[in-house]
Amino acid sequence: MRSLDGRYGRRIFGSLWPHQPQAYASVTTETINSKKREDFTARTRWAVQIFSRDQRLAHLGSSSLPRLFTVRNFTTTSSSTPKPPPQNSDDNQTDNPTNEPDTTWDLTTKSLGQVIFLNSSHSGTILLASLALGDPYLAFLAGVGTVTANATARNVLQLDAQVYGNGLWAYNGALVGCATAVFVAPLADSANTVAMLSPVLTGLAITTTGAAVSTAVTASLSRTITSMPQWTWAFNVVALSILLRTQPLRPTFDPNSVGATEMVAPSTTSLLELATGPLKGVSQIFVVESAWTGIGILAAIHAYSPLLAGHALLGSTVGMLTGTVCCSDAATAELAAGLFGFNAALTSLGVGVFFRNNTAAWVLSGTGAVATTVLFGALQNVLGALHSPCLTLPFCITMSACYQLGGRVGGPEGVVPSLELATNPHSPEQNQ
């Protein structure tokens, strides 16, 4: 008994109208009112469901969207800008649904870990302690650079909050602090407090300025580099701009003057120093020459991903061996100091994070380390003539080339068919 239209209505009309017209009227009115009540109830429930859904979405905000920015990948979330095929979704299984660090310490250590692709405040804490073990002053300026870069991103430039929560606006600032501590404002070997205070103040000024600028450069590059991660391009732009001006590698004496050869002490490198070269190569990522710091960094990587720690050690070892065999002009002291290993270690780390874990990826990790070391030797001669280190330029160039070799799952094949970029880059264990 739904309404007057249809056969149900005709049946009611035929049976009730001749004998009970009032009953017919009352029945049809009651039926229509009942239908209206049902429709009203259904619409009310539908409105409540839509309202509840909207409230949930408003509460979750950006946390309900795919996390695209967590492993060194800066792209804009605007629909007008194409996104790279791999979605870098990694938050190290944190319990924070909004991906916002709980404390400033969490954000600082996570940002520091992102230098070597570790999106983990736990690994970042181990990393910072390792830097302090090898060079407390450098660890201090690295922390200052990280905090400054994060503050610039959040309070001054007001950049993307999700990228901020993963520490990706600040890892270049951390490296600026490391480079400043070694090349621009190193501590003076003096018992005079004033003499020691001067480089500290200079280092603080340069680190804060450089870290803030590196964040702005990172934000600018995020609008242009959309097909691959940024690596450490922003750090190289800022730090090399400073180093080419200060020329930290300029000799303090004229090598052509009489008696200049007497001022150069003969190089004495022991077998133990050469054996610890790969560990120092890992520590040189942060411009620290210390085997103990290298062990601590490997421990931080191992806490995040054991296989990724294997990639780092493989890259540094291959880089040192390549420097020994191919770079005939390489001094033994430079090999022992790990200078031929840190760019290679970074390349191997990048391959381990961004490619699916298979035999081809491990081969690329080793061959990429070789190519990075050869390029390091070339760039070292070029920038060395300008009295400046080449920093991580070899890694940025080689890793960009390696990234182009990989294909994409469900997309076009890469140059090497068995090489595939990970859909959600994280670590070799998860990039299966």
pLDDT tens figures, 282-314: 999 999 999 999 999 999 999 999 999 999 999
99 plus 137 within the same structural domain: yes
Q: Are 112 and 173 in contact (CB under 8 A)?
A: no
288 plus 414 within the same structural domain: yes
Question: CA–CA distance from 392 to each of 233, 272, 376 (Å)?
Answer: 8, 26, 9
429 plus 280 within the same structural domain: yes
Note the Cα 68 to chain centre separation in Å.
11
172 plus 290 within the same structural domain: no
In a domain, 152, yes or no: yes
CB-based contacts of 138: which residues, under 8 Å, 6+ apart? 131, 177, 178, 181, 182, 286, 287, 288
pLDDT tens figures, 341-396: 999 999 999 999 999 999 999 999 999 999 999 999 999 999 999 999 999 999 99
Has residue 252 got a pLDDT over 50?
A: yes
335 plus 417 within the same structural domain: yes
234 plus 280 within the same structural domain: no
52 plus 82 within the same structural domain: no
Has residue 45 got a pLDDT over 70?
A: no
Share of the chain above pLDDT 90, in %: 61
In a domain, 120, yes or no: yes
Question: Which amino acid belongs to residue 359?
Answer: T
Tokens 């450069």 -> residue: 217
Number of domains in the chain: 3
Question: CA–CA distance from 27 to each of 1, 19, 40, 273, 396 (Å)?
Answer: 9, 14, 20, 101, 82
Has residue 319 got a pLDDT over 60?
A: yes
In a domain, 258, yes or no: no
167 plus 290 within the same structural domain: no
Has residue 64 got a pLDDT over 90?
A: no
Has residue 271 got a pLDDT over 50?
A: yes
324 plus 221 within the same structural domain: no
CATH (domain of 203)? 1.10.3430.10
In a domain, 2, yes or no: no
pLDDT of residue 326: 78
Run of H or E residues at 240? helix 233-246
pLDDT of residue 61: 42
What is the pLDDT averaged over residues 205-223?
97
Report the DSSP beta bridge partners of residue 408.
Answer: 421
In a domain, 255, yes or no: no
Has residue 272 got a pLDDT over 60?
A: yes
Q: Give the Cα separation of 220 and 331 in Å (integer).
A: 39
Has residue 40 got a pLDDT over 90?
A: no
Has residue 214 got a pLDDT over 50?
A: yes
pLDDT of residue 227: 87
279 plus 425 within the same structural domain: yes
Last residue of a domain, one of 190, 214, 248: 248
Taking the model in full, what pTM does it have?
Answer: 0.77
One-character DSSP codes across 28-64: HHHHHHHHHHHHHHHHHHHHHHHHHHHHHHHHHGGGG
Give the phi and the psi of residue 416 in degrees, each rounded to 5: -105, 115
Q: Give the Cα separation of 156 and 148 in Å (integer).
A: 11
pLDDT tens figures, 400-422: 999 999 887 666 777 888 899 99
Average pLDDT value over all residues in the chain = 81
In a domain, 265, yes or no: no
Task: Name the pLDDT band for 329 (thresholds 50, 70, 90).
Answer: low
* DSSP code for 421: E
Question: Which comes out higher in pLDDT, residue 195 or 328?
Answer: 195
* Both tokens assigned to 292: 């103990």
Secondary structure (3-state) at 407 = strand
In a domain, 183, yes or no: yes
Last residue of a domain, one of 42, 64, 86: 64
In a domain, 49, yes or no: yes
Task: Name the pLDDT band for 174 (thresholds 50, 70, 90).
Answer: very high
140 plus 277 within the same structural domain: no
> CA 362, 363, 366, 371: dihedral to nearest 10 degrees?
-130
Q: Are strands 420-421 and 407-408 parallel, antiparallel or unpaired?
A: parallel
Closest by CA to 327, choosing from 315, 316, 339, is: 339
404 plus 423 within the same structural domain: yes
Q: Which domain holds residue 361?
A: 271-432
Closest by CA to 352, choosing from 401, 296, 400, 309, is: 309
pLDDT of residue 196: 79
pLDDT of residue 432: 83
